[in-house]
Amino acid sequence: MAAVLTEPYGTATLLLVLGALIACSALLSRHIDRLGVPIVLLFLVLGMLGGSEAAGGITFADYHAAVRVGTIYLVLILLDGGMNAPWQAVRHFIAPAAALATAGVVLTAGFIAVFSRLLGLPWTEALLLGAVVSSTDAAAVLAVLRGGRLRLQPSVGTTLEVESCINDPMAVILTVTMIDVATSTTALRWSLLATVPLQLAVGATVGALLGYVGLHLVRKVYLPTVGLYPALTLAIAFLSFGAATLLEGSGLMSVYFTAIVLGNSPLPYRSGLIRVHESLAWLSQIALFLMLGLLVFPSKLPAVAGTGLAIALFLAFVARPLAVVLCLLPFRFSLREILYMSWIGLRGAVPIILGAFPVIAQVPGAERVFNIVFFIVVVSTLLPGATIRQVTRWLRLAVPESPAPSAILEINSAHPLNAEIASFLIDPAASVCDVLLSEIGLPPDASVMLVVRGNDLIAPRGRTRLLAGDHAYVFFRAADRVYVQLLFGRRESN
């Protein structure tokens, strides 16, 4: 529809439809989330509705563009994911996450391939399908775990997040190898599998290196306007992806590590910077899944519905749990944690993007594989996504959620500072609960700056008593951080 209109009406119509789709995605997300449906699925369905076979009338079947643009969106999502990942937790759970991201991906691919063959698919398609859907998806995992305002115990939350952020190289390599198998135009590159550890190592090294170089740059240069700082961090992420990929490393993993280095260090205008990247990540989630929805033609789905559904259910109930159990046995996880991670095997953008690879390579049967992949993604996002709250409660893996303060007080500065402001939710178990401020022996350079009690903002005085449920904003020097946390408990993240 848009293509036949002359300019500027063609562009105007396109923006009108895209605007309506993005607005619907943003506005409906809260209601959809309440119904227990992962919001990325909403974006995907809205994308399908915007396509040429539905109301939107946008024709989009450019798989090359989808792969390229989709990768850029993934970089933006991983940048935000990494910036918000506490390094302590990542370091603690990187070994089990790496096992899931390598052996787990191969096992899942193998199980799916064998099952698909049993369903009657030729070996080439079965192997391709296994490779394409073998990895969990960072976009979906981050959207469901963080977007759903779930607070999970780090053992499962961090392991699942890190797994999804570093398992793409294995899935990409498997897919490329299987395309070789299917086309047989070149010698089989099974040896590629041996390069997985190298890709991961290069990705992590380049990522960390560029993270530190970028951090130095961001902290040393003085930019004329605040708005340029997020542009610089974005540039660092793009450089990280590009450099790592050109050096035969994993670009996505590199971005994740760059983001972890940046996010776990003092940054100029830190809170504003983090919020800009959070917004970019959300916009990327919406745009990515809308685009992938546009790429799907609903008329082609009924033909593969039975096969797709069967494989999706096999993945959710057999392949993923089996792979997770085998990978996590050497680690000290409880049965509850293993069960949980078996169930939360969210697929999303990456399998759809990988599904486009064989279509681009013109592998016979690639379009059928692509449509089956779409089914698998929908089911394996819907099933765990819709049940995640109940399962989290049932397996007792949630961390109690703290109410957010009604106001936020923060320091914004272009330069690294020797002091900070942090907010603490006053819990009855904290030493300072039900205590007059004058009784708290704060260090000489520390002070309680503001108390937020419900919607009341209280100017702290010596006679102010901290009550359970208050949010206290405390100013302190870096050297006193530990003592302040001993008194007030864990700081809130705003």
Whole-angstrom Cα distance, residue 95 to residue 141?
Answer: 19
Nearer to other proteins among residue 57 and residue 154 (C-beta) = 154
Cβ of residue 400: shortest distance to other proteins, in angstroms? 8
Q: Give residues 455-484 in contact with other proteins (rule: CB under 8 A).
A: 482-483
Nearer to other proteins among residue 189 and residue 336 (C-beta) = 336
Q: Contact at 8 Å (CB) between 103 and 150?
A: no
Q: Contact at 8 Å (CB) between 105 and 136?
A: no
Nearer to other proteins among residue 149 and residue 490 (C-beta) = 490
DSSP string of 292-351, one letter each residue: HHHT--GGGSGGGHHHHHHHHHHIIIIIHHHHHHHHHTTS---HHHHHHHHH-----HHH
Phi/psi of residue 457, each to 5°?
-105, 120
Helix (H) or strand (E) segment spanning residue 450? strand 447-453
Nearer to other proteins among residue 389 and residue 465 (C-beta) = 465
Nearer to other proteins among residue 257 and residue 488 (C-beta) = 488
Give, as one character, the DSSP assignment of residue 51. Answer: B
Nearer to other proteins among residue 439 and residue 445 (C-beta) = 439
Whole-angstrom Cα distance, residue 261 to residue 240?
Answer: 12
Whole-angstrom Cα distance, residue 330 to residue 336?
Answer: 16
* 238 three-state secondary structure: helix
Pick the binder of other proteins from 31, 64, 68, 91 (CB under 8 A).
91
Is 489 near other proteins (CB under 8 A)?
yes
C-alpha Rg value of the chain to the nearest Å: 24
The first and second tokens of residue 365, run together, are 């049967």
Pick the binder of other proteins from 5, 11, 439, 456 (CB under 8 A).
439
Cβ of residue 332: shortest distance to other proteins, in angstroms? 11
Binding mask 395-434 for other proteins (x = CB under 8 A): --------------------------------x-xxxx-x
Q: Give residues 441-460 in contact with other proteins (rule: CB under 8 A).
A: 441
Is 57 near other proteins (CB under 8 A)?
no
Cβ of residue 411: shortest distance to other proteins, in angstroms? 22
Is 5 near other proteins (CB under 8 A)?
no
Whole-angstrom Cα distance, residue 27 to residue 22?
Answer: 9
Whole-angstrom Cα distance, residue 263 to residue 134?
Answer: 29
Cβ of residue 306: shortest distance to other proteins, in angstroms? 48
Q: Contact at 8 Å (CB) between 237 and 213?
A: no
Is 487 near other proteins (CB under 8 A)?
yes
Nearer to other proteins among residue 323 and residue 430 (C-beta) = 430
Q: How many residues at the interface with other proteins, by CB under 8 A?
A: 21
Is 88 near other proteins (CB under 8 A)?
yes
Pick the binder of other proteins from 28, 54, 62, 92 (CB under 8 A).
92
Q: Which residues bind other proteins (CB under 8 A)?
A: 88, 91-92, 427, 429-432, 434-435, 439-441, 482-483, 485-487, 489-491
